[in-house]
Structure 1
Amino acid sequence: MSVSKAIINDIKSIIVESKDKAIRTVDHHRTMMYWRIGKRIFEEEQEGKHRADYGKFLTKYISEELEPEYGNGFSKRQIEIFRQFYRTFPIANTVYSQLSWSQYKILIRLDNQDKIEFYVAETIKNNWTVRQLERQIYSSLYERLLISNNKEGVLAVARNEKQPSEAKEIIKDPMILEFLGLKRENSYYEKDLESAIITHLQDFLLELGNGFSFVARQKRIHLEGDEFFVDLVFYNRLLQCFVIIEIKTRKLTHQDIGQLQMYVNYYDRIERLSHENPTIGILLCADKNDAVVKFTLPEGEKQIIASQYQLYLPTEKQLLEELNKELENFEEKGDKTQI
């Protein structure tokens, strides 16, 4: 009597799914226990707020009473984390079961409520792991999106309150590619960068953002006897369009922009279906002159984007400086419009 392997695979899937649900349920109950402990500590602190250093005394006293019985999970440092957890998320229904306690511990380190809301929404929407959440925070995802967008728009897209309507709402400049393992001081060719991206495709898709899927590498295009090769082709289901990426390991030139424009035109006229939106082209370059990009493209062009890549994680200071520069440029444009 032969038994199909399908039944074994189905049972294994049921076991794994049930185990995962059980782990998530236990973790959420633990997270809520920590939230309730933090709430109780906060309430006690408010009662004794007239006493100097009462908070420090209280966390030390609680840990001394609990740690011998319940272990180092109730050390003074952990008790302080419980208190900070409640202070960061004071409303019980904003503690989501989709997030683990490990992720909440990362989130409460952030110093900005808008930033916290953004990473909570993105983690839930994209089902990020702890490592993926950490990586997005360390690569300053929120600040990079703010460079080309307004805060309300960034948060609205993250919360699924609106779908992105143009590429700049989800495509970052710069893109951070530290996961490729390439060193700035080493010389490498465009094909080396392309190969590294394919090797680390999952990480690259995470860096690209929401809704991307890989389509082709070195896509061949025939134009009346001439052959051209598009470095990378993706599709974005949120924008409902093809996304072409051309890689340049040097400073961008106006000829590069013209080349990418040709590829975008080809996809729009030959590959794109009637219900799909216009193709987007991204020039992923080591360096760029924004003025060259601006004056090479037609005014109001939204299909071609030049995004500089970095092979290292930037500091928050670097990103904030870049953000402030963008805000100053925006204000200058506003002043000129008024004049």
Structure 2
Amino acid sequence: MLTSHNLIEDIRNIIAQSRDRAIRAVDHERTLMYWHIGKRIFEEEQNGEDRAEYGTQLIKSISKSLQSEYGSGFSYRQLNLYRQFYRTFPIVHALHAQLSWTQYKFLLRVDTEEQREFYIAETIKNNWTSRQLERQVYSNLYERLLISNNKEDVLAVARNEKQPSDAKEIIKDPMYLEFLGLKREASYYEKDLEQAIITHLQEFLLELGNGFSFVARQKRIHIDGDEFFIDLVFYNRLLQCFVIIEIKTDKLTHQDIGQLQMYVNYYDRIEKTPTENPTIGILLCAHKNDTVVKFTLPENQKQIFASKYELYLPTEKQLMDEVNKEIESFEDDKKL
């Protein structure tokens, strides 16, 4: 009697899941061990009269005693890291088994408690790998979301304490597409960028954010005998709506916005079910003109967004310039 294919696949899945749980359990125990070592070093350090000097000598002495027996994981540098780990995360019960030691080690570089809390919540919610977490931190995800939202809303959505009710709570501007591997000095056609996005769809979904799934590419629609092709169609399960993305590699015009508005209207009237929310449209453009967008669309509309794309990750100065520009724009709007 032949063994069924489904049975073999089921057993393989059981083995893979068990191995994954075992690896996570071991890694969590290692994380707890490093935390307790850091705590013990810090407590001993506080008994010294000259704390800075005593702490340095103490860690050097511990490293000398342990490194020959247990290896490089107990070097002076690593022991200092364990001490920093305890100081940054002083409550052991707050450590999450879903996070690996590699992820915690990377989070020690994050500046503020609010940022760390945000990235921990997003890592758990989205099951990010260490590399994905690192990429999101380096792409300044937290700061980009803060540009159009307040801190409380950003953290509440990350913790799953509230569902996003407005597209701006999850749509990023700018979007960073460095994973496409395209050279920043070159010019591209829309079809080139579109093809690169499809080739790197998993990374693009990660950049889009929570709740997105791919629906169609070059979606053909018929309007009164004319054919039109929508670049990319997604669905967002959190917002419960279709999301249409049109790509523009040259200067954004009011005609581009009008075309996207037509596609959004079509989906609202033909594709959307009564239980779904209004369709969102995103113009993913190389050069964004906020004034053109502002005066082409009705005031207080919440369906059409323009998001600039960048082919490389930002420097800290570039990000702060972008934040300051948004603040100045907001202040100007209040004066009108």
Shared fold (TM-score, shorter chain, > 0.5):
yes
User: For the Cα contact (< 8 Å) 2:211–2:237, is it kept in 1?
Assistant: yes
Comparing 3-12 with 248-257, greater Cα deviation is found at 3-12
CA distance in 1 between counterparts of 2:145 and 2:292 reads: 22
Matches within 5 A, 1:318-333: 318-333=318-333
Q: CA deviation at 1:161?
A: 0.8
- Secondary structure of 1:221's match? strand
Counterpart in 2 of 1:240?
A: 240
From the superposition, tell whether residues 93 and 49 of structure 1 become closer, same or farther in structure 2 (CA, over 3 Å): farther
CA deviations 1:4-58 (Å, max 9, x no partner) are: 1222211111111111111100100000000111111111222225444222222
Residue identity matched to 1:279: T
Root-mean-square deviation (CA), in Å?
A: 1.2
Q: CA deviation at 1:326?
A: 2.0
Counterpart in 2 of 1:160?
A: 160
Matches within 5 A, 1:194-273: 194-273=194-273
From the superposition, tell whether residues 135 and 49 of structure 1 become closer, same or farther in structure 2 (CA, over 3 Å): farther
Q: CA deviation at 1:219?
A: 0.5
Counterpart in 1 of 2:287?
A: 287
- Secondary structure of 2:57's match? helix
TM-score w.r.t. the length of structure 2 is: 0.97
CA deviations 1:245-280 (Å, max 9, x no partner) are: 000001211111100000000000000000000000
CA deviations 1:266-306 (Å, max 9, x no partner) are: 00000000000000000000011111111111000110000
- Secondary structure of 1:299's match? coil
CA distance in 2 between counterparts of 1:106 and 1:317 reads: 21
CA deviations 1:163-203 (Å, max 9, x no partner) are: 00011101100000000011111122100000000000000
Q: CA deviation at 1:211?
A: 0.3
Residue identity matched to 1:115: Q
Counterpart in 1 of 2:18?
A: 18
Counterpart in 2 of 1:47?
A: 47
Q: Following superposition, which runs of at least 4 residues in structure 1 exceed 6 angstroms of deviation? A: none
CA distance in 1 between counterparts of 2:205 and 2:40 reads: 42
Q: CA deviation at 1:317?
A: 2.0
Counterpart in 1 of 2:181?
A: 181
From the superposition, tell whether residues 200 and 87 of structure 1 become closer, same or farther in structure 2 (CA, over 3 Å): same
Residue identity matched to 1:93: H
5+ residue gaps in structure 1? Answer: none
Counterpart in 1 of 2:122?
A: 122
Matches within 5 A, 1:298-313: 298-313=298-313
User: For the Cα contact (< 8 Å) 2:45–2:51, is it kept in 1?
Assistant: no
Residue identity matched to 2:321: E
5+ residue gaps in structure 2? Answer: none
- Secondary structure of 2:46's match? helix
Instruction: State percent identity of aligned pairs.
Output: 75
CA distance in 2 between counterparts of 1:328 and 1:91 reads: 40
Q: CA deviation at 1:332?
A: 4.6
